[in-house]
A and B are shown apart, each in its own frame.
Chain A
């Protein structure tokens, strides 16, 4: 299929996606002139920061034996025994390669100490750490009760250490949950920057509402928080866990298994939209946790006209060295009536050929293996190609891609593609069947 529209739609629909890891890193940005500075911090922001100052930490991933930092993020104490919550993506390097990286935390008054990894929640991008015990108890932030959500527009404060410049408090507004996210995320109208990942977002009373996680790079003040309840659950589960010293690939793999089961189930249950093509039924998902974009293009040189539709999930699971756990569909509907059948066949072939099935490097994934044939859908002949890749560090997880072209007309047709990342083999087959069986004749036909 035509490549460029596919990607532009994704960029538009999902600019956020993977600005998230960028948050953990510090990229030097040009300093803004002083007169551009935000308005004076309100009294309550000052109060909130004063209260939270001693609970706030910077999390550094340090290269072993070199003492230079590989990435930085933020975090906060959640218990007096020294439990710290941050994002998984802040600690992922150390979690996946503990032999190469160490984790340390640095307090607002500049004290640095070692910290250990206790538990992960890759799906919500959270990690639970524990500071080396000390004689006096740690100051800890408390979570806002789960049953008492903020009202839209209420003031809130995000804390962290942006770009390793220094601890900061950012004022913004609560805007409810982000729409069409697979897992709930709070939409925070405030300016998050790289390095603030894992820092707390507090209400006016200084209780934790969420954890800074990502922002949209194509917008202004469109930022996202992991709801505090997931951090609270992680603390309950991991409070007394033994520190993790081995690479966390098996834990990540287990959590992705849970994710793919949920994703498959929710995706199949939500079904397909109707009326997507006058002649066929073409699979376009109900966009509950996906976003669909469409466009139409008429050839200016008397050639092929087409319409396309792309649906992609905003949510992707950040594993550390790559993303997975996402799902995407797209199709193009071609009209070659001005071309004649042979010329149309040529164009139709080019579009069918113009597909890539390589995603990750050979360090992480096998080369694709495909199966293809003519498939009958109640009398509608399809050419179907299914390609699978296996993950090398996540056993029994696969990426599956399905490519379909209708083959009943000589001057028109539909080509569709379905991509699922990180599912087990049974679900890969289930989703392939679900997608293929969505093709057929439209009722009106």
Chain B
């Protein structure tokens, strides 16, 4: 006789820890030993729920429980009923994650095993990412060092780059392993290398545009996009740690973005009473990169006129209490 259904206990990473065939209705689930499926979970009631069938199909009835039953985003209280859906549903009782598969649920097609192909694809893309990052690193080191010590500096920078990559991705791999039983090292490497490229290209383009068009506000606020890149990288890293909770990881990354941005803004305000992270645009490119027109001295000085009123207004504000008395300590 074929089974009517399958009730599965899932692990935190979504893999099946235990599966039990249901040969006849009702299926009773709870902590008490007279259940069909016994859950040793302190947050589960003695008779937590049971599943029955009638002419309309399979339905679930919640037993005498304080915690209720969670089905998807739905929450059922004691005594409530739920009609089974046309696809397997995940059921949360206490801290246990269950899944109910019914015989009438259509069976999805078999997923072909493409492990080796995927691995090969990843190797090529990682090789590309490594190459681009390496080129960017070499270029940055070339720009920053004098001709003579260049080979030495380059060796040092590449080594520290590699060390940083392994330390960062290693830490994420540990987290992945802890929560999903899989390392996902290659995934974390891809996330980091991609983020590094995006970050550097964005930063370079913004600095160049700020110089070319005389837009100091652009470099002054490049931290907005940079924080967004960092938050996106965090989101993708987290995907390999909590793959089954996209909402949580998305919310976490968004929160990280908001908090990071808030802290940067607050720091900038403390330092210079402006949202900009720098007082003036300092990056100078070769003269041919300049697009903005020059102004004459008169025009330039006109731009200084509005500062008087704003400085006077700020001068009238008393200093913070903790700053006061700084002068006396020098005595």
* Contact surface of A with B, Cβ cutoff 8 Å: 25, 70-71, 93, 299, 301-304, 321-322, 338-339, 341-346, 348-349, 352-353, 357, 361-364, 366-377, 381-392, 395-396, 398, 403, 405, 407-410, 425, 429, 432-433, 436-437
Contact A361 B323 (CB under 8 A): yes
B residues near A429, Cβ cutoff 8 Å? 301, 304
Q: Besides A398-B311, A410-B286, A436-B300, 15 other CB < 8 A contacts?
A: A302-B147, A321-B327, A322-B327, A349-B282, A349-B284, A353-B282, A361-B319, A361-B326, A369-B307, A381-B287, A383-B284, A384-B300, A385-B280, A389-B311, A392-B315
Pairs across A and B, CB under 8 Å, 21 listed: A70-B331, A302-B147, A302-B148, A321-B328, A339-B146, A345-B284, A353-B282, A361-B323, A363-B324, A370-B279, A373-B214, A373-B303, A374-B290, A385-B280, A387-B279, A387-B280, A390-B315, A395-B315, A405-B284, A410-B286, A436-B300
Partner of B323, one of A321, A362, A396, A437: A362
Nearest A residue (CB) for B148: A301
Nearest A residue (CB) for B269: A367
B175 shortest CB reach to chain A, Å: 37
Contact A367 B273 (CB under 8 A): yes
Nearest first, the 9 A-B pairs at minimum CB distance are: A303-B146, A353-B282, A376-B294, A321-B327, A390-B315, A301-B146, A390-B311, A410-B286, A302-B147
Q: Which of A71, A375, A391 neighbours the largest number of chain B CB atoms within 10 Å of its CB?
A: A375
Q: Is the interface of A mostly helix, strand, loop or mixed?
A: mixed
Nearest B residue (CB) for A389: B311
Contact A409 B287 (CB under 8 A): yes
A interface footprint on B204-235 (CB within 8 Å = 1, 0 otherwise): 00000000001010000000000000000000
Partner of B290, one of A344, A362, A407: A407
Q: Which of B228-287 contact A (CB under 8 A)?
A: 271-273, 278-287
* Contact surface of B with A, Cβ cutoff 8 Å: 142-144, 146-149, 214, 216, 271-273, 278-288, 290, 292-297, 300-301, 303-304, 307-308, 310-312, 314-316, 318-320, 323-328, 330-331
A residues near B272, Cβ cutoff 8 Å? 367-368
**Given A302-B148, A346-B143, also A25-B292 (CB < 8 A):** no
Q: Which of A338, A367, A382 neighbours the largest number of chain B CB atoms within 10 Å of its CB?
A: A367
B residues near A25, Cβ cutoff 8 Å? 331
Nearest B residue (CB) for A356: B279
Q: Is the interface of B mostly helix, strand, loop or mixed?
A: loop
Give the complex CA separation of A353 and B282 in angstroms. 5
Contact A362 B284 (CB under 8 A): no
Contact A362 B319 (CB under 8 A): yes
B residues near A353, Cβ cutoff 8 Å? 278, 282-283
Contact A374 B214 (CB under 8 A): yes
B residues near A322, Cβ cutoff 8 Å? 327
Give the complex CA separation of A384 and B294 in angstroms. 10
Give the complex CA separation of A410 and B285 in angstroms. 8
**Given A363-B319, A381-B287, also A372-B307 (CB < 8 A):** no
Nearest A residue (CB) for B279: A370
